[in-house]
Amino acid sequence: MSDGKLIRDRIPDLIRANGEDPITYVAAAAEYRQRLRDKLLEEVDEFLTADSTAAIEELADVLEVVYAIAADLGTDRATLEQLRQAKAEERGAFTERLVWLGLR
């Protein structure tokens, strides 16, 4: 895989509007899948290191990458949300702040 990183679709247009000439290419399917995973790690790291002011914006970036990965796997947002809801109903969510310590 070459250098570079996956960027949002409109970034080249924004760069051109600033009078610059971006160098980009369209990744093949396998490279795109790997770059999405790399981008997810990048965005999660940015979320983990963000202060409370920037954390929500970083979390939105994580969600955007998750949606792109889901689409690449053939699942739309609605189906992903249905799966999330079903798991929350069956196993619960993370709202009660429970921490596993093992068995007695």
> Which amino acid, residue 33?
R
pLDDT band with cut points at 50, 70 and 90 for residue 69: very high
Q: Give the residue-averaged pLDDT of 75-100.
A: 97
Residue matched to tokens 């739309």: 76
Counting every residue, how long is the chain? 104
Q: What is the pLDDT of residues 15-56, one digit of tens each?
A: 999 999 999 999 999 999 999 999 999 999 999 999 999 999
> Which amino acid, residue 56?
I
Q: Which two tokens stand for residue 57?
A: 């914006």
- Residue 1 is predicted with a pLDDT of 56
Domain positions in the chain: 27-91
Q: Residue 2: pLDDT above 80?
A: no
